Amino acid sequence: MDNRSEVRDFLVSRRGKVTPEQVGLAASGGARPRRVTGLRRSEVAQLAGVSVEYYTQMERGNVGGASEGVLDAVARALLLDEAERTHLFDLARVANTGAVVRRRPAAQRMRPVIQQILDSQFSPAWVGNGRCDIVGTNRLGRALNSPLFDDPARPANIARFRFLSSRAADYFRDWDDTAREIVAVLRTEVGKNPYDRALSDLIGELSTRSEEFRTRWAAHDVRHHRTGIKRLHHPVVGDLDLAYEGLELTADAGLTLVIFTAEPGSNSQHALDLLASWASTPAERERDQSQEQRPS
């Protein structure tokens, strides 16, 4: 993956989303009608306090050496949210330290103590990485994600399941939101680690096999995956509306602990209780063991 093209396409896509009115500029007309839907380069440069030539070079992918102050000014000019601003800084960091980033190993393994933490949870919980792999889970988390784990490929991957599995449409009730979120998470990870071979292979596979993914990928949207609501339909217990919190594991760079909960006394809590009973049956335990023995 080419960092310069990532920078270029990201900046161009963000500039196209901002109207002159949003940043206090009058929409020009008359002798010079607008030919762009968003801001002109000259307007971004003006708002950021840099020369048009300098910003043009940035939009061509040349952000190596850009100061933190300049990046901040461009982020303000383009009305970037927190995730977008972080993404811009990640792209600039990679441009400056690409050789270092190349040496980052693609594999991410979970320490035994994290599995102990997972097993101590009474709610569905798992650990994931920026590639949307589930690298570790507790029994209730595995049961909740049983449609994903039915696929023999390991590690189980939420992005691959959403875009390539025929079973995903029944599982994800928030179909479009889930797709948008997954693509934005993957795009964020690309900004951090463009030389991650496993990540580039995944994106290549999804781009080749899913037209929907290709279309969404071209939008260059990014986001932080920290909190929200998931609306699922489990094949055993039916509909669930679950709140989730994502907690970054600071000692394990790139890994996030995700915990799901249901409103006490709700139908979703009742469904989770049923799911816990199902997960503890001998047949389900046997299935867990057979899945764990499958090769990665």
Q: pLDDT tens digits for 21-47?
A: 999 887 655 446 677 779 999 999 999
| Helices 175-192, 82-102: inter-axial angle, 10-degree rounding | 40
Same domain for 129 and 29?
Answer: no
Burial of residue 89 (CB within 10 Å: 0-12, 13-18, 19+) is middle
Same domain for 127 and 271?
Answer: yes
- CA–CA separation, 209 vs 63, rounded Å? 32
Same domain for 90 and 164?
Answer: no
pLDDT at residue 101 in the model: 46
Q: Tens digits of per-residue pLDDT, 62-103?
A: 998 899 999 999 999 999 999 999 999 999 998 887 544 444
Domain count, the chain: 2
- CA–CA separation, 48 vs 50, rounded Å? 6
Same domain for 82 and 147?
Answer: no
Please provide the distance, in angstroms rounded to a whole number, between the alpha carbons at the two ends of the chain.
25
Say which CATH number the domain at 22 has.
1.10.260.40
The DSSP code for 294 is: S
Q: Which of 102, 134, 162 is the last residue of a domain?
A: 102
pLDDT at residue 89 in the model: 95
Same domain for 32 and 146?
Answer: no
Q: In this structure, is residue 35 part of a structural domain?
A: yes
Residue with tokens 């940035």: 58
- Which contiguous run of DSSP H or E holds residue 268? helix 267-279
Helix then strand then coil, % of the chain, to nearest 5: 50, 15, 35
- CA–CA separation, 216 vs 101, rounded Å? 26
pLDDT at residue 2 in the model: 58
Q: In this structure, is residue 107 part of a structural domain?
A: no
pLDDT at residue 288 in the model: 59
Same domain for 83 and 129?
Answer: no
Same domain for 175 and 92?
Answer: no
Range of the domain at 256: 112-292
Listed as ranges, residues in the chain with pLDDT below 50 are: 30-31, 99-107, 293, 295-296
Q: Which amino acid does the sequence have at 229?
A: I
Sign, CA torsion 137/140/145/151: positive
Say which CATH number the domain at 210 has.
3.30.450.180
Residue with tokens 């595995």: 142
CB 31 within 8 A of CB 222: no
pLDDT at residue 286 in the model: 57
pLDDT at residue 294 in the model: 53
Same domain for 77 and 166?
Answer: no
Same domain for 62 and 159?
Answer: no
Same domain for 128 and 172?
Answer: yes
Per-residue b or e along 7-46, where b marks 16 or more CB atoms closer than 10 Å to that residue's CB:
bbbbbebbbebbeeeebeeeeeeeeeeeeeebbbbebbbb
Q: Which of 102, 133, 153 is the last residue of a domain?
A: 102
| Nearest C-alpha neighbor of 11 from the set 65, 79, 67 | 79
Q: In this structure, is residue 36 part of a structural domain?
A: yes
Q: Which of 102, 130, 152 is the last residue of a domain?
A: 102
Q: In this structure, is residue 172 part of a structural domain?
A: yes
Cα 140 to the chain's mean position, in Å? 23
pLDDT at residue 174 in the model: 97
Is residue 236 classed as helix, strand or coil in its secondary structure?
coil
- CA–CA separation, 263 vs 169, rounded Å? 24
Q: In this structure, is residue 174 part of a structural domain?
A: yes
- Beta strands across the sheet bearing 125-129: 156-157, 133-137, 125-129, 255-261, 238-248, 227-234
Same domain for 67 and 176?
Answer: no
pLDDT at residue 285 in the model: 55
Q: In this structure, is residue 87 part of a structural domain?
A: yes
Q: How far is CA 179 from CA 83, 140, 216, in A?
A: 17, 24, 8
- CA–CA separation, 185 vs 194, rounded Å? 13
Same domain for 85 and 129?
Answer: no
Tokens of 221: 């949207």
